[in-house]
Amino acid sequence: MTALGLELPEPLPPFGEYVPAVRSGGQLWVGGHFGTRPDGSIHTGTVGIDVTATQAQDAARSAALHLLSTIRAELGSLDRVAQVVRVDGVVNSAPDFTGQTGVIDAASRVLVDVFGDRGRHARLAVGVAALPGDLILEITAVVEVYDEHLVG
């Protein structure tokens, strides 16, 4: 990660009655993650109104780092990720904003940068009228996990 110039933050705590990730068989289902700024403040606002697409991409990159932090905390190491299977991204968007794919691409790039081909995934990127706490976006993921008996 350091070679890529990326540093993982501490995992975010749950902000409700849920857990950040659930292991089911050989998969880890990772719940919604959002972006924070270096000072710890949360990226908020509506893309196309008070947030630019570039600012939303910054939030998406940060959300991907938080997602990776949760994966590492759950699995003990990112080396346990065999494949990022799917990423879903929802973007708090103005009615006429249609660049959700470009926003969520920023999160996808982080995963590909970290995992190479293992980071290429199926994806959904959609706009929504509002998100809790006025978040700019949230991303979720499903990752395939190497069997702990096969990794050393």
- The secondary structure element, H or E, covering residue 27 is strand 27-33
**Cα–Cα distance for residue pair 117/17, rounded to 1 Å:** 34
- Please give the CATH superfamily to which domain 22-145 belongs: RutC-like (3.30.1330.40)
pTM listed for this prediction = 0.93
Q: Cα–Cα distance between 66 and 43 in angstroms, integer?
A: 13
Residues 40-74: tens digit of each pLDDT: 999 999 999 999 999 999 999 999 999 999 999 99
**If 0-12 CB within 10 Å is exposed, 13-18 middle and 19+ buried, where does residue 43 land?**
buried
- In this structure, are residues 33 and 67 in contact, taking their beta carbons and an 8 Å threshold? yes
Residue in 81, 75, 83 with CA at minimum distance from that of residue 118: 83
The pLDDT tens digits of the residues spanning 26-41 come to 999 999 999 999 999 9
pLDDT tens per residue across span 97-143: 999 999 999 999 999 999 999 999 999 999 999 999 999 999 999 99
Residue with tokens 């990159």: 61
Q: What is the pLDDT of residue 150?
A: 52
